[in-house]
A and B are shown apart, each in its own frame.
Chain A
Amino acid sequence: MLDQPIAQSASQLPLAVAGLCFRAGGATLIDQLDLVLTDHGVTVVMGPNGAGKSLLVRLLHGLIESQAGSITWNGRSCGQATRLRQAMVFQKPVLLRRSVAANVDFVLRLKGASNRERLNQLLAQANLLDKKDQPARALSGGEQQRLALARALASDPDVLFLDEPTASLDPSSTQTIETAITQASGRGVKIILVTHDAGQARRLANDVVFIHRGAVLEHSGAEGFFKQPASIAARDYLAGKLVI
């Protein structure tokens, strides 16, 4: 049961990023960024505000285009084709003006996989089954983000990006989301998670990519990173100091 999705996700890995640059408004926001991800599991992207974390995941997902450098998923250039097998949960969930169930069903239909059983299973996992007929936009912030995650999982992605999904959420919603992330990762979905929450990173990360000023400052296994960060900036960041 577990093996096959892992084999599927291997079809998108390795991710290889080389010399990636993104400029906007005269500023270089991503600067010669190199990164290679070979293993499934949870990769956590950390770094100070403005380091380029959100930009990086948007570039990797193919939502925006870089001016220089390359991104390949298992040798295929990043774009529409690779995005089809990926999903993203944004920091601020964008929910359709429909019921909770209709939001998930929209994606199931899109992927030609609309069925009640799967719908209920996704809603149950997000702890939203009892609210399935409520308007999605009337949900609380935590419920909205849980729904956004359920909807992302409805597309059965090989790679799931999450851009600070639990920023300013209540602990129980955060826990539901972290459980869903762990389960998806266990099924072989590659997780790329941007977070500011060092505790969350410790709980979930297999490896950590630390970004500073638009470049990867270090990329190492989670255990090693949290025990002994190699860079001063990462050390200061983890110690709660301001990193500029």
Chain B
Amino acid sequence: MIMQDFAEAFRLAFGLVAAMDADLVEIIGLSLRVSLTAVLVAAVLGMPLGALLATVRFPGRSAVVIVVNALMGLPPVVVGLLVYMALSNAGPLGFLQFLYTPAAMIIAQSILITPIVAALTRQIIEAMNFEYAEQFASLSVPWHTRIVALISDARYALLTVLLAGFGRAIAEVGAVIIVGGNIAHLTRVMTTAIALETSKGDLALALALGIVLLVIALVVNAAVMSLRAGAESRAHA
């Protein structure tokens, strides 16, 4: 009986995916929009921060590095809670009226993955800077040119960093369900929909979304890996 339900759920799920069900497409679209925007924000903030930490020596630098590394493991629900408090009507950013909108979800995911991007960028850039530093010193390269050159030369390795950030964002549920509220046609994304449909017992839609989520993860990973492999074979990485 259970096995039959299981098979039936898979059959329905593949049906939904194959038919490009409108609800399904809407949910996937919003998921991608929210998480990709969060990756963009995290890249813009996290990469220069990571590069700066990798190349500039200042008092308290190790403490900052430790904090950034620790923030990589931020629990999504805690981020969700803090963003919820900040954006709620009584909170300091309540006037923005962002709560229960995709904007709130983007903010929460950006906070979640910026430390990941910053910490991994620091590791990569620090290793490269170790190699370049003496040459750059010999050439008297100004610090801002160094950072741009390091980020540019590490671009293929940094793709993997963005991938890690995207993977974390697209898969998390704790933050977006608190600040987004899982409102149909407004803030419902793949992970929140899976949580809801599972609790309602509609395993087919949940499973369909789960399959899409897995496929997205596989495709993005494969794309980045092949890009990197190409770069390595051209000795750029």
Q: How many residues of B contact A (CB 8 A)?
A: 17
- Distance in angstroms between the alpha carbons of A97 and B157 in the assembled complex: 12
Interface string of B141-177 (1 = CB under 8 A from A): 1000100010001100000000000000000000000
Chain A proximity mask over B3-24: 1 for CB below 8 Å, otherwise 0: 0000000000000000000000
| A98 is an interface residue with CB less than 8 A from chain B | yes
In this complex, the interface size class of chain A, counting residues with CB under 8 Å from chain B, is 20 to 34
Binds A, one of B38-46, B63-71, B128-136: B128-136
Q: How many A-B residue pairs have CB under 8 A?
A: 45
B234 interface contact, C-beta 8 A: yes
A97 touches B153 (CB 8 A): yes
A136 to B132, CA, bound (A): 14
Residues of chain A in range 51-92 having any CB-CB distance to chain B below 8 Å: 61, 63, 80, 83-84, 86-88, 90
- Give Cα A135 to B235, complex, Å: 7
Q: A88 to B234, alpha carbons, bound, how many Å? A: 27
- A124 in contact (CB, < 8 A): no
Which residues of chain B are within 8 angstroms of A84 by Cβ–Cβ distance?
140
What is the CA–CA distance of A88 and B138 in the complex, to the nearest angstrom? 6
**Would A97 and B237 be within 8 Å (CB), given that A106-B149, A110-B145 are in contact?**
yes
List the B residue with the shortest CB-CB distance to A84: B140
B220 sits at the interface (CB 8 A) = no
Given contacts A96-B153, A97-B235, whether A110 and B141 have CB atoms under 8 Å apart is: yes
Q: A63 to B137, Cβ gap below 8 A?
A: yes
Taking a contact as CB atoms under 8 Å apart, the answer to whether A90 and B236 are in contact is no
Residue on A nearest B131 in the bound complex, by CB: A94
B180-193 interface code vs A (CB 8 A; 1 in, 0 out)? 00000000000000
- Chain A residues within CB distance 8 Å of chain B: 61, 63, 80, 83-84, 86-88, 90, 94, 96-98, 106-107, 110, 135-138, 155
Which residues in B have some Cβ–Cβ distance to A below 8 Å? Answer: 131-132, 134-135, 137-141, 145, 149, 153-154, 234-237
